[in-house]
Chains A and B, each alone.
Chain A
Amino acid sequence: MRLKEIIRLLDAVVITNSRDSEAEIEWACATDLMSDVLYYSRGNSVLITGLAKQQAIRTSDIADIKVVVFTRGKEPDTQTIELSRKKKITLLITPYSMFTACGKLYEKGLRCCPE
């Protein structure tokens, strides 16, 4: 799914973005557990999480995740924003809950990282 499609479907606010909105994102991973991200995710994925903290960005950087979405309109602090800019991770905020955000993306064909 294209990044611009993810932004549109989630009515997301773009906080940081250094990639082309036409970029193709292959998989999705939704969790608040960072170890689950490291265990189950694939590279070139979007992470949907309620953990609007630096840890989500650091973990995503390690796991090659390109796009991070914070759910329920949670606003990150400036260090988190700065880190995502530095790590060239696209950071989005969606007003939707994790369940609804996942549903919207799933409905349009985005799938969970294969285990």
Chain B
Amino acid sequence: MKIDKTYEGSFHIVGGDFSHAGEASTELKTILLSAGVEDEFVRRVAIATFEAEMNIMIYATAGILRYTISPEEIRIIAEDMGPGIENIELAMQEGYSTAPDWVREMGWGAGMGLPNMKKNADTFRIDSVVGEGTKVEMIIRR
């Protein structure tokens, strides 16, 4: 597959389903690698998507991860039905986390997820409504 047009796809993610953690981002990574795009670009996409996927899995009931691949960039939208984020500014700080202990025991919840998405994306937007959910939109350019 060569990226000469726009490709779209989506993954459904179920909250708490850790046995499938990382499958969406792994699949997206495979798609990009098979298209022959640069390793460093694939790595940034995979990391940003994985963090988004893990956040849905940790905090939300369910979520959807949509992607649009074009020759120049990839757009990822992660939208969940979750508790929402009360203070986005605080959540964006490295090390700030509200993750419960059982999540931390699995190696997650160190408060680096959102900052890491922002770090790997060229454009990063987050909107959240407490009690409804969170939407993260990222654009990563080649």
Q: How many residues of B contact A (CB 8 A)?
A: 24
- Chain B, interface SS category: helix
A100 within 8 A of B: no
A55 and B21 within 8 A (CB): yes
Q: Mark A38-79, 1 if CB is under 8 A from B, else 0.
A: 110001000001010111101101111000000000000000
- Taking the closest CB of chain A, its distance from the CB of B95, in whole angstroms, is 10
- Taking the closest CB of chain A, its distance from the CB of B120, in whole angstroms, is 9
Residues in chain A near residue B47, CB distance under 8 A:
38, 62-63
Instruction: Of the listed stretches B62-70, B84-92, B111-119, name the one at the interface; the rest are far from the partner chain.
Output: B111-119
B26 and A32 within 8 A (CB): no
> Quick one: which of B22, B43, B112, B119 contacts A58, CB cutoff 8 A?
B22
- Taking the closest CB of chain B, its distance from the CB of A79, in whole angstroms, is 9
B21 and A35 within 8 A (CB): no
Inter-chain contact count A-B, CB under 8 Å? 63
- Taking the closest CB of chain A, its distance from the CB of B40, in whole angstroms, is 8
A35 and B113 within 8 A (CB): yes
B106 and A53 within 8 A (CB): yes
B107 within 8 A of A: yes
B39 within 8 A of A: yes
A51 and B107 within 8 A (CB): yes
Q: How many residues of A contact B (CB 8 A)?
A: 20
A34 within 8 A of B: yes
Minimal Cβ-Cβ distance residue in B for A49: B107
A36 within 8 A of B: yes
A33 within 8 A of B: yes
* 30 CB-based A-B contacts, threshold 8 Å: A33-B107, A33-B110, A34-B106, A35-B51, A35-B108, A35-B113, A35-B116, A36-B110, A36-B112, A38-B47, A38-B50, A38-B116, A39-B112, A43-B39, A51-B106, A53-B106, A55-B18, A55-B108, A58-B22, A59-B22, A59-B107, A61-B22, A61-B26, A62-B22, A62-B25, A62-B50, A63-B43, A63-B46, A63-B47, A64-B43
CA distance A82 to B107 in the complex (A): 20
- Taking the closest CB of chain B, its distance from the CB of A67, in whole angstroms, is 16
Residues in chain A near residue B18, CB distance under 8 A:
55
